[in-house]
Amino acid sequence: MADKHTSQRELFETRPAWEEDDRRHGTVATVVLPEGVAKPLDYLVPESLAGSVEPGRRLRVPLGKSGRPRVGYCVAVTAGELPQQPLKEVIAVEDERPLLSPRMLGLTKWMSERWMCRWGEVLEAVLPAGVRAKAGRRSAPVLVRSAAEPARTLTPSQAKVLACAAEPMTAEQLAEKSGASRAVVSRLLKNGLLEICDPARLARAKPAAGSGAAPPVLSERQADAVEAILAPMRARRHETIVLFGVTGSGKTEVYLKAVEETVAYGRQAIVLVPEISLTPQTCSRFRARFGEVAVLHSHLTPAERHAQWKEIAAGSVSVVVGARSAVFAPTPRLGLIVIDEEHENSFKQGTAPRYHARDVAEWRARSEGVPLVLGSATPSLETFQRCLAGEWRMVELPQRVGGAQLPAVITVDQRDPASRSRGPVSPRLQAGIGWAIESGGQVILLLNRRGFATAVQCPACGHTVRCPQCDIALTFHQPGSRGVCHGCGRVTRLTPDCPECRSPSVSLRGTGTQRLEDQVRRIFPGARVARMDTDTMRSRGSHEKTLDAFRDREIDILVGTQMIAKGLDFPSVVLVGVVNADAALHLPDFRASERTCQLVMQVAGRSGRGPLGGRVVVQTSSPDHPALRAAATHDYEAFVRTELPIREALGYPPFGHVVRIVVRSVDDAAARHQAGQIAERLRAAAGGPPTSGTPSNVAPAAVRVLGPAPAPIARLRDRFRWHVQLIGPDDAELRRIVRDAIDGFATPDDVAWIVDVDPVEML
C-alpha cells in the first residue's frame, strides 16, 4: 500500500511529464507581412526548420482560412509554452542568412511607430528590391565593352552602342541610350565585343576621376570643425553636429576629411546628399579621395544596387554616398553619418513609409554610438532650433574659403515701372548677363517653373485651361504646343480657340524655363545657352553631359529649375539671376518663406566662387519680405530670428508637430464626409472643446484640429482631396490621438486616406 502511495505521489509531482501535452511547448516565429495584415502574426516553427528560423530572415507562411502561402519577415523567435489556440506552421525559410540585423529590425519597428505606418511597409522600404528578389529571379545582367578588338568595321549603330558601353549598363539601357535596337546589342554580346560585367565589381568600376589632386590644407576653422566630428567618433559617442557654413565655405572638404579619418580608423561612413545633387561632381569628389565608394542613386538597376549592398554588408566598401535611402546601408562598422544640405525636403519620403532620413539617421547614430553631421548654409528651422535649445552642437564656417567674398546681391523690384520689361528678363538682369559674358564669365539663371508658359488663358472671358482630371492649370510646353499637367503628367491637346467661349485666341501667361531659354537666346544671339530641367534631363547621363559642357566652358548661360541651384562649384560663374523669387513665396504652406530664403541663398551661392568675384540679381515683387531681405544680405540668421517667433506663436514646427490626414475619393462628397468624420473623431480623442481655424491670441499649448478643408490641390488624378490637420506641442500625444481616433474606424471602398506625420509637403 505504502509503495503504491509513494509511486502515486511521485507521479503526481512529475505531472508535466505525463499530464501535460508535449505539443504545448515549442518555438514560435513572429512574422510581419509586407502587405495585407498589419499585425505581426505568430507561427509554429516545425522541428525540421528549427535551425534556420531566425529574426531578419523571410519565411513562407500560410495566411487566412485558405492558407495561401505568403512571404513575410521574421521579427522575433521565442521558445516556450504555446498559446491556447493552435498555430499554423511555417512552411519554409526563404533566405540563407538574415537580410536585417536585430538593430535594423529595431529601427524599422521604431519607424513604423514614429511615422504611423505599417511595419511591413517599412521593412520593404529599407531593403532594396534587388536584395529582396528571390535568388531564382535574377535581374538583367549588366554589360560593358570588352577588351576584344573589332575584327570587322562596325556599323554606325554598333559603334554607338560600344561608345555608350564604356559605362556598365543593362542591354535595355544600352539600347535606349544609343538609340540602337536590342538586336544590335545582342549581336555585339554574341561577337564578344560586349561582355557581362560582374555586378560585384561595379562599386569600383568607375575610375576615380581627378584623383591625384592633393587635398587642400584645411583652414583653422575647418580643422576645428573636423575635430568636433572626430572626437566623438573616436570615443564611440553619439553627438549631432550641425555644420552651418555659408556657400563655398568648405563644408564638403570638412566631410571629406572627417570621412577619411573615419576610414583610417577602420570604420565606415555614410554620406547622404539630396538626389538632385548626386551629380557626377559630388561623386567624383568622393571617388577622387577614396577610390572605392558605393554610390547609391535612383538610376541603379536592381542588380547594381544589390551588388553594392552586398559589398557594403561585407565591409569591403568603406564609404557610402547616396540619397535618402542610403541611410539604411548595412554597414557592419559604422563610424560616421553625414547629411549634406540637411534642409532639403527630399530627405523626407513622399510615399509610405513617410520617414525623414534626418530622424532615421539620428536614431541610427545614437543607437550605434557615432556622430551625425548635418551640414547646410541654410539649416532647417527644426535643426536651428535644436541648436538654440542646446541639444545639438552648432559649428560655424562664416567665411568663404581663401577670403573669397560672397557675391553682391542686387534686388530688382518688379512692381517698379522702370524695372518692367516685356519678357521675364528685366533691364538690370539683362545688363548683368551682358557684363558677365563680356568679362568672360558664365551665368546661371534660375526659374523654378518648367515648360514654356505657366498658364493658358482666354483674354476674352478669363478662362484658364485646366487639366481635365486635376484642379491644376495646364502648363504650355514646346515643341508640339502641348498642355501638360504638372500634377499628373497628363498631356492635353490644346485648341487654338477658347474651350469655354470659343473666342478665337488664347494667350500664354507666365514664363517657364523653355520661354526663358528662348528669350535669352534672342537677347544674346552670340551666347551659348543650355537648359537644365526634368524635361531636358530625362535620359541617363544627360545631367552629367550638360554639367561637363558647362565646366568646359562650352556653355555660357545655363538656364534651369532648382536642379541648378545646389551643390555646383564652378569658379567661372560670375552672375546668378533669380528670375522670379516670388514663385514659391505665396504657396499655402507655412514653410513657404523658409524654402524661398533657402533656394535664393543656395543659388546665389553658385556665384563668385572664383577670383573674378560675382553678382546676383534677384527679381521680385516682394523685395521687403524678410526671406528675400535676408537672402540679399547673406544673413540667414536674420531670417531665422524673424521666422522663429512667428512659428512659435502659431505652434508650428519647430515648436509643435503636425499630423496631416489627406482623404481622397472620386466622389467629392464621400471624401468630404470621411474627412469630416475623421476631424470629429480627432476632436473627440483630443478632448476639450472643438477648435478650428488659426487662433491668433490663444496659447498654442492645446492640440488643435484644423479642417476638414479642401487640400490646396483640391483634385488630383480624378480624386477629390480633403485634408485635416492636427497640430500640437507633443508628437507622442498627437500620435495617441490619431490612434484613438482611427482605431477600428471603417473606410468606405471608394475612399482612401493617408496619415503624414511631420509633413514637409502641404499641398
Applying CB under 5 A, which residues contact Zn ion? Answer: 458, 460-461, 463, 467, 470, 485, 487-488, 490, 498, 500-501, 503
Partner whose footprint covers residue 231, from ligand ADP, Zn ion, none (CB < 5 to 8 Å by kind):
none
CA angle, 85 as apex, 83 and 90 as ends, to 5°?
A: 80
Least Å distance, CB 467 to Zn ion, is 3
Least Å distance, CB 397 to ligand ADP, is 7
Radius of gyration of the chain (CA): 30
Check residue 367 and give left, alpha or beta (phi > 0: left; psi -120 to 50: alpha). Answer: alpha
| CB-nearer residue toward Zn ion: 468 or 645 | 468
Partner whose footprint covers residue 274, from ligand ADP, Zn ion, none (CB < 5 to 8 Å by kind):
none
Partner whose footprint covers residue 461, from ligand ADP, Zn ion, none (CB < 5 to 8 Å by kind):
Zn ion
Least Å distance, CB 446 to ligand ADP, is 17
Partner whose footprint covers residue 247, from Zn ion, ligand ADP, none (CB < 5 to 8 Å by kind):
ligand ADP
Task: Find residue 483's DSSP bridge partners.
Answer: 476, 492
| CB-nearer residue toward ligand ADP: 342 or 758 | 342
Helix axes 119-126, 102-114, angle to 10 degrees: 130
| CB-nearer residue toward ligand ADP: 444 or 494 | 444
Least Å distance, CB 610 to ligand ADP, is 9
Partner whose footprint covers residue 1, from Zn ion, ligand ADP, none (CB < 5 to 8 Å by kind):
none
Tell me the H-state helices in 576-616.
592-604
Least Å distance, CB 247 to ligand ADP, is 5
Least Å distance, CB 674 to Zn ion, is 22
| CB-nearer residue toward Zn ion: 287 or 719 | 719
| CB-nearer residue toward ligand ADP: 222 or 519 | 222
Q: Which 8-state DSSP code applies to residue 728?
A: E
| CB-nearer residue toward ligand ADP: 243 or 686 | 243
CA angle, 119 as apex, 24 and 239 as ends, to 5°?
A: 115
| CB-nearer residue toward Zn ion: 129 or 461 | 461
Which amino acid, residue 54? E
List, as one string, the DSSP characters of 417-456.
Answer: GGG--SSSS-HHHHHHHHHHHHTT-EEEEE-S--SSBSEE
What sign has the CA pseudo-torsion 460, 461, 466, 472? positive
- Which cell is 322 given? 547616396
Tell me the H-state helices in 459-564.
513-523, 542-551
Least Å distance, CB 627 to ligand ADP, is 21
Partner whose footprint covers residue 432, from ligand ADP, Zn ion, none (CB < 5 to 8 Å by kind):
none
Least Å distance, CB 506 to Zn ion, is 7
Partner whose footprint covers residue 245, from Zn ion, ligand ADP, none (CB < 5 to 8 Å by kind):
ligand ADP
| CB-nearer residue toward ligand ADP: 188 or 564 | 564
| CB-nearer residue toward ligand ADP: 254 or 755 | 254
Q: Where are the beta strands (DSSP E) in 666-730?
A: 704-716, 719-728
Distance CA 171, CA 186 (A): 8
* Residues engaged in binding ligand ADP (CB under 6 A): 216-219, 222, 245, 247-253, 401-402, 569
Which amino acid, residue 583? A
Q: In what order do the strands lie in the sheet with 557-560?
A: 408-413, 615-620, 573-578, 442-446, 557-560, 529-532
Contact status, residue 238 vs residue 362, Cβ threshold 8 Å: no
Partner whose footprint covers residue 219, from ligand ADP, Zn ion, none (CB < 5 to 8 Å by kind):
ligand ADP
Least Å distance, CB 491 to Zn ion, is 10
Partner whose footprint covers residue 725, from Zn ion, ligand ADP, none (CB < 5 to 8 Å by kind):
none
